[in-house]
Structure 1
Amino acid sequence: MPLVGLAQFFRRDIPGLACGPGGADLVQLFHCPFTHGMHLERRYRLRWRQARHTEDVGRFLVTPPEVPLLRWEHELPEPCVLHPEEVDTYPWAEDDTLPASLIARIDAWEDAQAAEHGPDTPSYQDDLSIPPGWRVGGYPSWASTGPMAVDCASCATPMRLLLAAEGYEMDAGSHSWVPLEDRDPALRGKASIRGGRSVVQPTRLRFGRDRDLHVFACPADPGHPPRWLLA
């Protein structure tokens, strides 16, 4: 069964994208359109390529593979164009992802902000550390599972986040990440978002139970198999 393409990223468009095996400068993400096993496992495939080879029209298929009949709408991505934006991200503040003293200071600051300004005040986790949506590089979000060690199965090297995919580009807890053109500046939280589903969920995809799909790569050897994690 042909795999369904989810995304492709060129290093020329995203300077922070890691280099692939043999200097590959294009990474593509696919998934099987069906689930597998009693736990309804979703299977993904990461392919590294040389961009110059993929842009040779002579190599294109005359007839693209047909997408099979799918059970759920969110299993088929909505075609869209990426507009990358470079932002600074910071580690998830839990367990030993940051020094305990710094996490305590963050917690105290959030409590003080909430007491003074109410529940819609900005928070470190939602508004300052890691943006929602699709991300290349940076730090993983551990909202569902808590921090986990992710080591390479081939050489035991701690792996780095290659990319993360999320169904929603914005939500009620991430007001600060909503683009100015997509929100009402007089409102906060989910009420401020304008544009409907096409803005909030442009790709139409969902991962797990609305979790983030994290793809980790080995920094010692990009040829080592990637690891997938829903968190």
Structure 2
Amino acid sequence: MPFVGLAQFFRRDIPGLACGPDGADLVQLFRCPFTHGPYLERRYRLRWRQAGQTEQAERFLADPPHVPLLRWEHELPEPCVLHPEEVDTYPWAEGDTLPASLIARIDEWEDAQIAEHGPDAPNYQSDLSIPPGWRVGGFPSWASTGPMSIDCASCATPMRLLLTAEGHEMDAGSHSWVPLEDRDPPLRGKASIRGGQFVAQPTRLRFGRDRDLHVFICPADPEHEPRWVLT
């Protein structure tokens, strides 16, 4: 059964994109359209290519692979054009992801924000550290699992986050990340999103129970197998 294409990125569009084997500058992410086993596991594939060779290929499939009849709408992605934007992100504040003294300062700041602004006060995790949605590089979010050590199965090197895929580009806790053109400024959370669900979930995809799919690669050798982590 052919895999479904989820995303492809060129380094010319994303300067921070990691290099693949032999300097590959195009990365593609695929997913099997069906689940497997008693735990409904997903199977993914990461493919690195040379953009120049791909774009100059003499032969392309005249008839693209046909996707089978799927059970759920969110199994098949809605085609989207990416407009990458570079933002500053900061580590998830839990466990040993940051010094304990700094996490304590963040907690104090959040308490002060709640005292001043009430339940709609901004907080570090949702409004400042890691944006929702699809992103390349940066830091992983650990909302569902708590921080985890992700090491290469081949050489035990700590792995690098290549890509995060998520079903929603914005949610009730990400007011500060909603693009200005999609936001009703006086409102917060989902109520502030102009355009509703289509704007909040443009790809139609879901990962696990509305989790983040983190794709990790080995910085020591890009030919080592990537790891897929749902958080």
Query: TM range, normalised to the smaller chain?
Result: over 0.9
Corresponding position of 1:213: 213
Number of the residue aligned with 1:74: 74
SS at match of 2:223: coil
Report the TM-score when normalising by structure 1. Answer: 0.99
Give distance in 2, aligned partners of 1:193 and 1:116: 24
Trace 1:13-162 onto structure 2 (pairs within 5 A): 13-56=13-56, 58-162=58-162
Q: Which runs of 4+ in 1 moved over 6 A?
A: none
- Aligned-pair CA distance for 1:58: 2.5
TM-superposed CA distance for 1:57, in Å, is 5.2
1:138 counterpart letter in structure 2: G
Query: What is the alpha-carbon distance in structure 2 between the residues aligned to residue 137 and residue 57 of structure 1?
Result: 29
Q: Aligned residue for 1:203?
A: 203
Partner of 2:191: 191
- Three-state SS of the structure 1 residue aligned to 2:187 is coil
Shift of 1:88: 0.7
Q: State the Cα distance separating 1:121 from its structure 2 match.
A: 1.2
**Alignment RMSD:** 0.7
User: How far apart, in 2, do the equivalents of 1:5 and 1:61 lie?
Assistant: 14
Aligned to 1:30, the other structure's residue is in SS state strand
Report the CA distance between 1:116 and its aligned residue: 1.2
Compute the displacement of 1:56 (Å): 2.5
Amino acid at match of 2:88: D
Distance 2:189 2:92 in 1: 21
Amino acid at match of 2:114: A
Percent identity between the aligned chains? 86
Quote how far apart the aligned CAs of 1:59 are: 2.4
Residues 127-150 of structure 1, C-alpha deviation per residue, up to 9 Å, x if partnerless? 000000001000000000000000
Amino acid at match of 1:183: R
Structure 2: distance between partners of 1:197 and 1:97: 33
> What is the identity, as a one-letter code, of the residue corresponding to 2:124?
Y
CA distance in 2, matches of 1:57, 1:97: 44
State the distance in 1 between where 2:216 and 2:184 align: 36
- Give the C-alpha shift of residue 196 in structure 1: 1.7
- 1:163 is displaced (CA, Å) by 0.4
Query: 2: distance between equivalents of 1:203 and 1:21?
Result: 29
Q: Secondary structure of 1:59's partner?
A: coil
The alignment covers a number of residue pairs equal to 231
Distance, in Å, in 1 between the alignment partners of 2:129 and 2:115 is: 21
Report the secondary structure of 2:102's partner residue: helix
The aligned residue for residue 175 of structure 1 is 175
Structure 2 CA distance for aligned equivalents of residues 43 and 19 of structure 1: 23
Distance (Å, rounded) in 2 between the aligned partners of 1:45 and 1:111? 43
SS in 2 for 1:74: helix
Query: Where does structure 1 lack aligned partners over 5 or more consecutive residues?
Result: none
Structure 1 counterpart of 2:101, which letter?
A: S
- Name the amino acid aligned to 2:224: H
